[in-house]
A and B are shown apart, each in its own frame.
Chain A
Amino acid sequence: MKITQSAKEKTKIKILQSAVDLIIEKGFDNASLREMAKNAGVSNPTIYNYFPSKEKLLYAYIEQKHKESIASIQEIEDFHTYTLREQLQTLIETELELYLEDREFIIQIADMVFHASGLKMGKLYETNALFIDTVDEMLSIAIEAEEIAKPPFREHIAKLFWDYYIMVVAYWVKDDSEMFENTTQFIDHSLGLADAVLHSDILSKASDLGMFFFKTHMLNSLQKFASKKDSFNLIKRKLGDVLHG
């Protein structure tokens, strides 16, 4: 019996949701793939077919949220009238909105990424292709429409933005303000800064200074969230790769 693509997709989403629920209930370490399969109403072989390991399941979850938020953005009729900053901000806010119902789960992932040894930061980067492509497209359009001048390190900006996004999620995870409005403000102000940098020509006029500014601030902020040296160093190295080619 052939299984259609859409049926496959449905099963995948069903498994992901039951996995998220189980991990919220029992914690990542205590939630087994067997039990996830049972809750999702699929057989053991089936779940292993989809997700050979629990880690793979996490990455699939993140990819799934990218897909959903991009679909949500595509429903905005006049999205082309949004400025680059508004488009980027919408992407981040939409993802966070999707995370909201699974917040406990996201907190666990963040904990594993930044504090415990369970997850490799580097692996997380494998999930970001869709996100980075989307950001890259937004950038290309903005440059083509002459909203911004082509910045130096053009090819790295989307990746940098992904790092920024990780930082936002880390902030959101720790945010205890009502309706997470601190995160909303944090995004609004920090993107305001990024926007100003992109518009100011400062990157090309004084790219070293601009990058120093950008890097120092971003790394400082990240350091606050990462208690584990490895993850921090990894980000630092990643950023270093980006910045020094």
Chain B
Amino acid sequence: MDNALPTGKLSRGKVVGKALLKIGAKKTKRFVTNGDKTQNHEEIADIIFDALGALKGVSVKIAQQIALGMPFLPPAYLEKISKSFNAIPSINKALVRKIIKTELGLYPQDAFDTFEMTAFAAASLGQVHLATKDGERLAVKVQYPGIKKSIESDMSLIHFGMKRFAKGQNVDHIVGEIEARLYEEVDYVLEAKNCDFFRENLQIKNIIIPEVYHDLSSEKVLTTSYLEGLDFDTYLLANPSQESRDAYAQLIFDSFFHALYKLKSIHADPNPGNFLFMQGGKLGLIDFGCVKKVEDDFLQMYNQLHINLLQDNDDLSIIQQYIKLGMIEEEGEEKMLKFYTEVIKPLDTLYKEPLVGDSYNFKDNPDFAKRGFEMIFEVQQKQFHSVHKLNEQFLFINRTLLGYYALFEKMGARIETGYVKKLLKEYR
């Protein structure tokens, strides 16, 4: 029966409710059999994910966010998540025409010189169409109607569900963050602003950022210049040279830290779909739906911490940095040391690994991302309750970085750390 979305809070509630029942059964089962904990987590995650997948639309996006926000999800889910990007119902021609008219005041054939009614790419919560105007090729992103409304109802259901089965873990901040991010992501006016900001300020050779056409954009339609390039998978399939791989990874790596330190903003969505591999070694940055601003004070402390980490300073002085960042609660020295060595240290050792030497070859460390996710999983198993203490800006940066490192690993690329270290050193 086609891919209709279950509409209305009641029917959506039913789907979520069913999933909750299933989870309840699983929990009971574990209680009875005292079975393997890891296995059970995977099963629960599976159920949540399936239920959200059945809801489609916004829920797919929420599922992706939960997966990113709850690192206890096993790596197998990353695959599922990337697949789910295409699961959002498509907007048919009649609907595209209607949305353009409602949003821009004109039908597509009047607003543009040409407009292809069949989308060439899926975007999160929408799709992208090719159009032309005054000889320029344009990419027009169109959003499915009613998305914003369903965020609210879906999130309240999910909050309810997660709370019940999160084993006392505090999930408020995760739910809050996901909700805020979703609202940001459906606000194309905000995305246009972010895109403008990066285009004006991220002046890095070979980084290409599209131009926003404001008179052809609105809250639900975003028109930018069209960039021609290959997506991540197609690029890799073409078996590019080692030089090309290294150069692209370097570009992504350097521009991430450049944006962090010079613009105090990061493009915080490490989804490979946000990159376009263009002719002549150029890299297109698209989709500015998830941009995070970083506060000065925070960056100061973050920088100091990393300098200390790279200098291999003693644990106690590093703990002091973490206290400032709000990552460790100030209490007895012994308790803090235990918390640091058990929870934080394994993570920061991992994050700093590529930064320690003058260069890092992901080809020689093909299990970096796997180790990363396993580490996070392990830490979470030990210290579930501590999640809410962690500084969100810190988490955001590291989560994005880990995502990028996973891409570099897939590319089998080698990066140089010189420019990034210079940024660290020069920042004050």
Contacts and interface: CB of A to CB of B under 8 A. Distances in A.
User: Are A and B part of the same complex?
Assistant: yes
Interface of A: 72, 75-78, 81-83, 85-90, 93, 97, 177-179, 181-182, 184-185, 188-189, 192-193, 195-196
B259 interface: no
Nearest to A90: B94
Contacts of B145: 179, 181, 184-185, 188
Contacts of B3: 192
B146 A185 contact: yes
Contact of A196 (B2, B101, B102): B2
A87 B149 contact: no
B92 A85 contact: yes
B109 A75 contact: yes
Interface of B: 1-5, 7, 92-95, 97-98, 101-102, 107, 109, 117, 145-146, 149
B7 A97 contact: no
B146 A181 contact: yes
Given A75-B109, A185-B145, A89 B7 contact: no
B7 A189 contact: yes
Contacts of A184: 95, 98, 145-146
Given A189-B4, A192-B2, A193-B1, A93 B98 contact: yes
Given A181-B149, A185-B146, A189-B7, A87 B2 contact: no
Interface of A, secondary structure class, is: helix
Contacts of B149: 177-178, 181
A234 B149 CA distance: 36
Interface of B, secondary structure class, is: loop
A96 to B, nearest CB: 9
B92 A72 contact: no
19 contacts: A76-B97, A76-B107, A77-B109, A78-B117, A82-B94, A87-B94, A89-B92, A89-B95, A93-B94, A179-B102, A181-B145, A181-B146, A182-B146, A184-B145, A185-B146, A188-B145, A189-B5, A192-B1, A193-B1
Contacts of B1: 192-193, 196
A45 B218 CA distance: 48
Contacts of A189: 4-5, 7
Contacts of B7: 185, 189
A89 B94 contact: yes
A34 B107 CA distance: 37
Contacts of B95: 89, 93, 184, 188
Given A89-B95, A184-B145, A196-B2, 5 more contacts: A75-B109, A76-B97, A82-B93, A82-B94, A89-B92
